[in-house]
Chains A and B, each alone.
Chain A
Amino acid sequence: MSTDDTRRPVYELIQLMASLNETKRAILIALGHVYPRSVSGVQLSRLIGYSGRSRSLYRGVLAYLEQDKMILIDQLTPKLYAIRINSEHPLLQLLVDLCREFGEETRRIYLRALEVE
């Protein structure tokens, strides 16, 4: 019974991640690992290896992720945004927990990439 309760969100999380395209998946994985840090748009596009223009990342990808309540975007200044994963989201909460529990090494890689600037 209890395993059912813990495994159902895992199944739903796998389905959710499978339904998103590469860019969105990469964003959620990266943000899940660096949580609770927030990153700027430029940092994010570097983290996920995005080659397009950052404007298209905002309009085409981040705006939709925000609409579906998967990420939170705070506008710090007119040009600077702080992007973080929505840790209140029922499934992404689980992703963040998993990343914290098992993703220490990956997390270090991401954080190092953020530091080198």
Chain B
Amino acid sequence: MDRLLEHAKSLYADRQRVALAAMMVAFSVTLYLFYSPGIYAIPAEPPIQLPPGWVQGFEIVYSFNTVGFFLAFAVMVFMYAFWSWAFLPTPAVNYTSAVLRGIFGSRSQITQSIGKRFRVFLTGNTWIDLTCHIKEPGSGAWFVYRLTSSPLHTSHLEEMAMRHGLGTKDGRLTAWVSSDELHHRSILLAKAMSLAASSA
């Protein structure tokens, strides 16, 4: 794996650990905040004849405090999920854009958007979309890219894709690419796209 990606990987693992630790602290703080001021029970009839201790316990669990606590916890989980969905560690961004600029020229227009996505603009109103996955859940591979071309209008798309080792979906060329294939398979994708454009 590339040195930059190694760096990005360890950075990501560190940040994950920090996030987990922060979440544990936030969890205990919210637990304290939501249950210390007093219990606001949701009015309800206890289901059957229960001993009074059970009814008290029931009121604590079935209360607005619990609803609030769960909401706060859900917000925390959501923020964590958003963070890991949206951001790519900086070294990985540097690696990706260095590879892309190496192929498509240092003046090529590359935009980066939230959600670990990149878009490279090629000549003639075509572009390549890249989505980076930091860690694949199935295989455990780090930094896998999904390449998608802009829609192509040609009748031999299927064959053209095969000849370049690519797949097709909805009239676009697609490929899953590991980080060490990124360089060469982007070249092939760009080549296939220009062939498709000239044959249309």
A90 at the interface (CB under 8 A from B): yes
Q: Which residues of A contact B139 (CB under 8 A)?
A: 55-61
Interface set of B (CB-CB < 8 Å, partner A): 136, 138-141, 144, 159, 161-167, 175-176, 178, 180-181, 184-185, 187-188
Complex CA–CA separation, A18 to B165 (angstroms): 11
Which residue in A12, A20, A60, A67 is a CB contact (below 8 Å) of B138? A60
Most chain B CB within a 10 A radius of its CB, from A57, A59, A63: A59
- Contact yes or no, B163 A19, CB < 8 A: no
A108 within 8 A of B: no
A25 to B164, CA, bound (A): 14
Let me know if A68 is at the binding interface, CB within 8 A: yes
Give the number of residue pairs across the A-B interface with Cβ within 8 Å: 62
B163 engages A59 (CB within 8 Å): no
Whether A3 sits at the interface, judged by CB under 8 Å, is no
Complex Cα–Cα for A64 and B145 (A):
12
The digit string for A14-30, where 1 denotes a CB below 8 A from any CB of B, is: 01101111001000000
State whether B184 touches A19 (Cβ < 8 A): yes
Contact yes or no, B165 A19, CB < 8 A: yes
Knowing A18-B184, A68-B175, the reply to whether A60 touches B165 (Cβ < 8 A) is: no
Contact assessment for B141 and A60 in the assembled complex, using a CB-CB cutoff below 8 Å: yes
- Determine whether the beta carbon of A19 is less than 8 Å from that of B138: no
CB-CB under 8 A from A60, the residues of chain B are: 136, 138-141, 144, 178
Q: Which B residues lie within 8 Å of A55 (CB)?
A: 138-139
CB of A32, distance to nearest CB on chain B (Å): 14
- Give 13 A-B pairs besides A18-B184, A60-B138 with Cβ atoms closer than 8 angstroms: A16-B188, A19-B185, A20-B165, A20-B185, A21-B178, A60-B144, A61-B139, A68-B162, A68-B166, A68-B175, A90-B159, A91-B163, A91-B165
Which residue of chain B lies nearest to A64 when distances are taken between CB atoms in the complex? B176
Contact pick for A67, options B141, B167, B178, B187, CB 8 Å: B167
